[in-house]
């Protein structure tokens, strides 16, 4: 579900889960474990296998697993977001294709974000589920004033549009995406370790504090909202719409 390629001091972490690298409980746990095991790397590049970075949460498993699955999934989702966001070393996103909902949040959690193809955006509200605090605050950290518009509309953006609002830093040709990501990662890895670690903690510390507080305050309400009948109906409608588009 996760592969790691070593390029000297840089590790390329690649999501590999089905055709569009959906986020399920197994992948989230593997991603968290991988990032924690790579704490000694000079820097990391996060990308996806195939034609997508990640299409977001595996909604079918949310429906099929019911409350028990969601009760395990939601904390694992937040932990994965936080593990990327708080990783002590540089993390560069190489967005090779669609990065939707949770996939978009993983991109936003990275220090440098390069994109070559696909669309990116947060579609949680159109799907019918609320944002975990880790997702909302990570997005706010990345795009600031644009957060409310992206959240409330569920709009998905092209690479150029994403760069215009700061969701990605640069649009890169697909052929050079990984090379450019590795180059950026090496540049950041050359910064003295403690200098980078301290600066990153200063940049992100207030966001992490808000996440900590809100995750305690909203945990029960989030689980109820994700597993209640209104959300289940909305998710089912969304999945039906996706199926009809493919046929």
Mean pLDDT, 10 residues at a time, the chain of 247 residues? 95 96 98 95 97 96 96 98 97 98 98 98 95 97 97 97 98 97 98 97 96 95 96 94 74
Do 188 and 93 form a contact (C-beta atoms < 8 A)?
no
pLDDT at site 6? 95
pLDDT at site 152? 97
CATH of the domain at 110: 3.90.226.10
Q: Where are the alpha helices (DSSP H) in the chain?
A: 25-37, 59-85, 102-108, 124-127, 133-143, 147-153, 159-164, 177-189, 193-227, 229-246
Q: Does a structural domain hold residue 39?
A: yes
d(CA 23, CA 13): 15
Q: Does a structural domain hold residue 148?
A: yes
Do 105 and 138 form a contact (C-beta atoms < 8 A)?
yes
Q: Does a structural domain hold residue 89?
A: yes
pLDDT at site 241? 86
Category of 22 on φ-ψ map: left (φ > 0), alpha (ψ -120 to 50) or beta: beta
Catalytic site residues?
A: 124
The angle that helices 59-85 and 193-227 make with each other, rounded to 10 degrees, is 160
Q: Does a structural domain hold residue 141?
A: yes
Range of the domain at 19: 2-176
User: What DSSP assignment string belongs to 125-156?
Assistant: HHHT-PPPHHHHHHHHHHHGGGHHHHHHH--E
Number of domains in the chain: 1
pLDDT at site 247? 59
Question: What backbone phi and psi angles, to 5 degrees, belong to 13?
Answer: -100, 120
Question: pTM higher than 0.95, yes or no?
Answer: yes
Tokens of 230: 């209104």
pLDDT at site 242? 79
Planar angle of CA 178, 107, 75, nearest 5 degrees: 130
Do 53 and 98 form a contact (C-beta atoms < 8 A)?
yes
Tokens of 202: 């200063």
Of 67, 66, 68, 83, give the one whose Cα is nearest residue 27.
83
Q: Does a structural domain hold residue 144?
A: yes
């Amino acid at each position: 579900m996760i592969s790691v390629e070593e390029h000297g001091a840089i590790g390329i972490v690649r999501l590999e889960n089905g055709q569009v690298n959906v986020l399920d409980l197994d992948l989230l746990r593997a991603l968290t474990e991988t990032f924690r095991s790579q704490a000694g790397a000079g820097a990391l590049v996060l990308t996806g296998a195939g034609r997508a970075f990640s299409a977001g949460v595996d909604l079918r498993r949310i429906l099929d697993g019911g409350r028990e699955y969601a009760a395990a999934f939601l904390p694992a989702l937040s932990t994965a977001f936080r593990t990327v966001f708080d990783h002590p070393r540089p993390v560069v996103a190489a967005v090779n294709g669609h990065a939707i909902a949770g996939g978009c949040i993983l991109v936003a959690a990275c220090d440098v974000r390069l994109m070559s193809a696909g669309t990116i955006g947060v579609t949680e509200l159109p799907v019918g589920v609320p944002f975990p605090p880790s997702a909302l605050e990570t997005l706010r950290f990345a795009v600031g004033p644009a957060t409310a518009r992206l959240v409330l509309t569920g709009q998905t953006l092209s690479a150029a549009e994403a760069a215009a609002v700061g969701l990605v830093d640069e649009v890169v040709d697909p052929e050079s995406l990984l090379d450019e990501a590795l180059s950026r990662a090496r540049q950041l890895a050359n910064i003295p370790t403690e200098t980078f670690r301290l600066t990153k903690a200063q940049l992100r510390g207030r966001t992490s504090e808000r996440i900590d507080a809100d995750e305690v305050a909203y945990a029960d309400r989030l689980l109820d909202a994700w597993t209640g009948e209104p959300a289940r109906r909305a998710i089912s409608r969304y999945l039906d719409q996706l199926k009809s588009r493919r046929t």
